[in-house]
Structure 1
């Protein structure tokens, strides 16, 4: 196995537990990146030649290598993949009584570039690194050994693959279900399999949905950027009087309607399809007010250079949501943007309230569920932020 050598002092972050190596940290005189094939394994060394572990290299990426073992000369083979997935599976089996969860969460499960969501006998998999892409066959074998899925969707049509020079594509094994059934709490949700957002369902918001539902009894609820209705349907099942869903996808809203009927048939439901900001302004101008609002937008900040524009969008969304709250209403505001710090989201909430001469008191501060573990040395893996606050005079 060849060596990938770092420049002097560029080993500090790795020794502190981080798993990523950036191209400008590599001593290209000792180990030219262009000598490595995409996905090739190498032993990572500091500037003195002392081994730091084993990596998969991609010379085409800004993150040019990702550590998969603290031992040198260690290939990411089927045995290692099976071992890591076995640990991931054991954790989920401790957490959940049934096999509906995120089975693997990339660096959080020490498997960089791999995301797996499990829906009973079906798996949806996303691969975002050349190292993992080169080991698809070994990965498939490991999954069949451990969980024996009847179908696998390789949902590799995401933009992140472009950062690794990988093609965007979607492939499948076995007969895919047209839609997925997801039990959560006392609810059962239906969501599209191959045509849904990301991996089909957002397991990461599970604890935050349950928390917000505590405030829903007899409430008029607004679910903004609802997708198939995770927050709104949970609120309906908890006794909400009515739920209004806003999303840009007509398909997602049709699932939201079905999910309300399946879980809370007496709850009044309305769907509004279109641009969320335009629809929120229309609701405001129509005098609509809600006792409970969920604001769960897509990532407005996908790249660091988009931070200013993205922050402005979060501020605007929170401002509109606060205007639609009934006095003393409850707002759950979330962000899944890696590049938005938790204090920045808190600031959006605070600013929206004070701008209207209101007070916001935070009742709950949450994040991603435990099936999305956070790597202790990698703050990048803690991406989801959620505040539930009461807003009033």
Structure 2
């Protein structure tokens, strides 16, 4: 089917010409090209008001973010050739960087494939499709992945809530091979059991891998606390670096069972203890118990999922950091993270500093980390730079 034209209002092409890939419904000249006449996921060619061709993309007339560009080459629309080319380029980058095949293979706009995320676990690929346009192209996506990567298993992890905003159904589907259950992943010598078919997101958080490696260089803890620990990647890294005791906190009993299994897998089971419960309530309980730690790790889920949640989410980040800092020994290290792209880096740092003032800590910022290179940032799309991780030392009294 020939792509439909999508014409923009006057001067609305400026952001696209600067490299951005998103088009909002209020930027479209609906008198010239009515959105109501288009189907979700339909291919479009985008034009300026004066008729300048801007790129190939796809549309969803039911979404405020109604279109995304994929190609600025008129001879190269979304199709098998483009998908193979982009996935080959993504794989080439990862192969240069990572000695083992555990990484994010495709990171949406950062790899020129908006609406597509692919995490790699050896010969298993976990695929997330978050837009109607990429959903419509899914058969070609799977074919391209099989051609370029040659995996043994592919699971569609389309159980993310963001699909509802695009009018897409949610679910998990194995389109190649069968669910192997738990598989083993290695990260800098540590071994972890993960379940790509059932774990959070796609089973593992590759975006923090480089920051976890930095923990070995910057912290030498005796007593560590890992809050919102999931499978224990941060805390077990601290134990491997020499921590005598690591306390893991998570609301999920299943996650804590996996922490124990991962600790045993690495011979660290004697150094850990687990506490199930809400992060805020558990931190308050630890404060009442007068517990103290010289390393506190706070890596919560996003508190700000939408712009309208910004004020409430900012308060949640300050409260979490205030409770964490209340347990930190002078001279200790706070590792705190936000994966909310709506929270700007400087705002997050200011929020943590406010928490430090409330708890009487004077902080030094030692390292400001971001997502690893398998989560590339599109320079023109600030929303792709979502992860902020700060390593902060509390100055001794």
For normalisation by structure 1, the TM-score amounts to 0.98
Name the counterpart of 1:276: 279
Question: Of 173, 197, 200, which residue of structure 1 is paired with 2:200?
Answer: 197
Q: Is the 8 A contact 1:213 1:238 kept in 2?
A: yes
In the alignment, does 2:228 pair up with 1:225? Answer: yes
- Which of 93, 96, 102 aligns to 1:94? It is 96
Q: Is the 8 A contact 2:236 2:268 kept in 1?
A: no
Aligned position for 1:377: 380
What do the CA deviations read for 1:204-257 (whole angstroms, capped 9, x no partner)? 000111112334445111000000001001111111111110001111111111
**SS across alignment from 1:252:** helix
Aligned pair partner of 1:78 in 77, 80, 84: 80
| 1:31 corresponding residue in structure 2 | 33
- Asked if the contact 1:39–1:130 (Cα under 8 Å) also holds between the matched residues in 2, the reply is yes
Question: What residue in structure 2 maps to residue 60 of structure 1?
Answer: 62
Residue deviations 1:292-334 (CA, integer Å, cap 9, x gap) = 1110010000111011110010000000010011121100000
Q: Partner residue of 2:128?
A: 126
Q: For residues 247 and 310 of structure 1, what CA distance do their matches in structure 2 show? A: 19
CA contact (8 A) 2:219 2:333 kept: no
Shift in Å, 1:72? 3.0
User: Aligned to 1:47, what secondary structure does the other structure show?
Assistant: coil
User: Which residues in structure 2 correspond to 1:262-301 (within 5 Å)?
Assistant: 262-265=265-268, 267-301=270-304
Task: Quote the Cα distance in structure 1 between the aligned partners of 2:76 and 2:217.
Answer: 48
Question: Which residue does the alignment assign to 2:190?
Answer: 187
Partner residue of 1:362? 365
Partners of 1:182 and 1:353 in 2: CA distance:
36
After superposition, the C-alpha distances for 1:122-161 in whole angstroms (9 at most, x for unaligned) are 0111000111100111111101111111111101011111
SS at match of 1:306: helix
Conservation of the 8 A alpha-carbon contact between 1:236 and 1:264: no
Superposition deviation, residue 73 in structure 1? 6.0
Could you say what secondary structure the match of 1:310 adopts? helix
Kept in 1: contact 2:260–2:269 (CA 8 A): no
> CA separation in 1, counterparts of 2:310 and 2:245?
35
SS of the residue corresponding to residue 358 of structure 1 reads coil
- SS of corresponding position for 2:178: coil
| Paired positions, count | 393
User: Following the alignment from structure 1 to structure 2, what is the Cα–Cα distance between the partners of residues 121 and 191?
Assistant: 14
CA displacement 1:30-79 (0-9 Å, x = unmatched): 10111212111111000001101111111111111100001236431111
Q: Is the 8 A contact 2:249 2:279 kept in 1?
A: yes
Mapped to 1, the partners of 2:221 and 2:324 lie a distance apart of: 19
CA deviation map 1:93-144 (0-9, x unaligned): 0110111000000000000000000000101110001111001111111011
Contact (CA 8 Å) 1:177, 1:193: kept in 2 or not? no
- Which residue of the partner structure matches residue 326 of structure 2? 323
- Gaps spanning 5+ residues in structure 1: where? none
Whether the 8 Å CA contact 1:158–1:168 is kept in 2: the answer is: yes
Task: Report SS of the residue matched to 2:305.
Answer: coil
Give me the whole-angstrom Cα distance separating, in 1, the residues matched to 2:218 and 2:339: 23
Distance 1:268 1:97 in 2: 29
Q: Is 1:336–1:385's contact at 8 Å kept on the other side of the alignment? A: yes
> Which residue pairs with 1:391 in the alignment?
394
Report the Cα distance in structure 2 between the residues aligned to 1:387 and 1:218, rounded to whole angstroms: 17
Name the CA distance, whole Å, in 1 between partners of 2:232 and 2:241. 14
Contact 1:39 1:57 in 2 (8 A): yes
Unpaired runs of 5+ residues, structure 2, are none
Q: 1:356: Cα distance to partner?
A: 2.4
What is the root-mean-square deviation in Å for CA atoms of aligned residues?
1.2
Contact between 2:8 and 2:27, CA under 8 Å: does it hold in 1?
yes
Instruction: Check conservation: 2:232, 2:259, Cα contact below 8 A.
Output: yes
